[in-house]
A and B are shown apart, each in its own frame.
Chain A
Amino acid sequence: MADYKVIMRDGIWDNNVVMAQMLALCPLLAVTSTATNGLGMGLATLAVLLASNVVVSLLRNIISNEVRIPVFILLIATIVTLVDLGMNAWMHDLHKVLGLFIPLIVTNCAILARAESFASREAVAPAAFDALMMGLGFTLVLVVLGGVREIIGSGTLFANAALLLGNGFSFLDMTLLDNYRGFLLMVLPSGGFLALGFLLAGKSWLDHRKADRAAAEATAARIAAINAMDEDDAEGEGETPPEDGGKA
């Protein structure tokens, strides 16, 4: 029985495609010049990841270990091509915006990684859920990175959102800094590396702070326990009760 809570935490934070696994950096840096592009790429990847995880999970019992990698690649490439053709035919405006990115999904090693390390070992439902969560985590990183680069690089946020999401979402298109001359470095791929570095540092800092806080709480609990024991039993040795140690 798969633990959906763990899958969710893994996908969005603990084992995030970009921030923990450090995968998919090539499409990531290429498309995150704006938040809208990041969102589009994220959603397209999510769709492909979902389809590939489900198919791989369905076929997991007939795929032999020796040829699994070429089979996975074949499946992913087929799905990406189908999505590309379908979008070009029926969602042409979206395809004009995302068309460039869709073939990039084939090179997204995160999809192969999920097929290999999760979908090929789990039942369909957890595999699909894993794809949703991993895709969501990836999309979040893309949007945050794209947003940061867009604000610093060109002073706008979600520029051309209406092209991607339809006119109903044109309110997202914001110009935050009027008459901003732009900061070219952030628009170029090198700016992507910089922003990604800060993002990773930020996650690391949050994780460390959380760990430190947990450790501090444990220490405090321990000290409190010792003090309580000292008060209860003035002659006691002040030894830590074993259950507190376990909690820490």
Chain B
Amino acid sequence: MMSDIKQPIKEKLAYHPILLGGIALIAGALLVFADAGTRDAIAERQAEDLRASLTQVVRADIHDNNLLKDTIVLHAPLEFADHEAGITFYRARMKGEVVAAAFKVVGMGYSGAIDIMMCVNRDGSIMGVRVISHAETPGLGDKIEAAKSDWINRFSGLSLANRNKQQWAVKKDGGEFDQFSGATITPRAVVRAVHKGLEYFNEHREEILRGKPVHHGGHEVHEGKAVSLSDFAAAQNAANQGARSDVWQRQMNEEQRRVAAFGAQPVKGVRNG
């Protein structure tokens, strides 16, 4: 089949890099188009997932607003925050007053991150906790899922006021939460993340509850994706500086500098879509 002229070309040294480069170029172009073509649809799906996970922890009867449109973003140590922009708080309002806030915390389990959605009442007690995603061992660590066991419901009603620091641990560590037979690391990670989240909520209660209301455009959650790169940089900056509210000012300066440089929107404080 191979013609006599074609054979020598294939054996020339330059043919190989050109072939490899050409195919890499085509593959790259394909991926760029595919990414552009699917980005909106994927963001849409993720927003749906988020909505679904919110409805699991926030009772429908306690609020009359759209949680996804009333958000506030605070920097938090990356140790338990989402890898993106610190923590987004979804605020539940009844007649204009914030009655609870839902947010996502991350625990490090036996095999990677455990994403947890939790909702805290205005008074600092937990309304509900759900594990959104995890990669724990099936049959061992997956009892943290509400579908597999009611262990996760144990958190409802607890607060820093009615449980002391020692009690916020699994029984093996002297606390009051059951571990699972054969799996201690997983429940320990969940208890720790929820506890940290609760502490963070208490420390920043005023900001979370009273932060200025947001007036969103039609495009809500995608915004988070669109700015996530710069958010990530900011979050890392924040983490490096040991982010807490006492470094608020430093972050704001950092923020202004970054905004001036890249034209990105401020991350700290209320996000405006």
B19 to chain A: which residues have CB within 8 Å?
Answer: 62-64, 67, 71
Q: Which of B17-32 contact A (CB under 8 A)?
A: 17, 19-20, 23-24, 27, 30-31
B49 to chain A: which residues have CB within 8 Å?
Answer: 92, 96
User: How many residues on A have C-beta within 8 angstroms of the other chain's C-beta atoms?
Assistant: 31
6 A-B pairs with the lowest CB-CB distances in the bound complex, closest first: A89-B41, A89-B38, A92-B45, A78-B27, A187-B139, A67-B16
Question: Does B263 sit within 8 A of A, measured CB to CB?
Answer: no
B27 to chain A: which residues have CB within 8 Å?
Answer: 74-75, 77-78
Chain B facing A: main interface SS: helix
Contact present for A70 and B20 (CB under 8 Å)? yes
- Residues of B at the A interface (CB closer than 8 Å) are 1-2, 10-11, 15-17, 19-20, 23-24, 27, 30-31, 34-35, 37-38, 41-42, 45, 48-49, 135, 137-140, 182
B15 to chain A: which residues have CB within 8 Å?
Answer: 64
Question: Does A81 sit within 8 A of B, measured CB to CB?
Answer: yes
B30 to chain A: which residues have CB within 8 Å?
Answer: 78, 82
Whole-angstrom distance between the alpha carbons of A145 and B30 in the complex? Answer: 36
Contact present for A85 and B45 (CB under 8 Å)? no
Whole-angstrom distance between the alpha carbons of A48 and B31 in the complex? Answer: 16
- Residues of A at the B interface (CB closer than 8 Å) are 33-34, 59, 61-64, 66-67, 70-71, 74-75, 77-78, 81-82, 85-86, 88-90, 92, 96, 100, 153-154, 182, 184, 187-188
A182 to chain B: which residues have CB within 8 Å?
Answer: 139
Give the nearest-CB partner of A159 in chain B: B138
Contact present for B2 and A81 (CB under 8 Å)? no
Whole-angstrom distance between the alpha carbons of A64 and B15 in the complex? Answer: 8
Whole-angstrom distance between the alpha carbons of A34 and B41 in the complex? Answer: 30
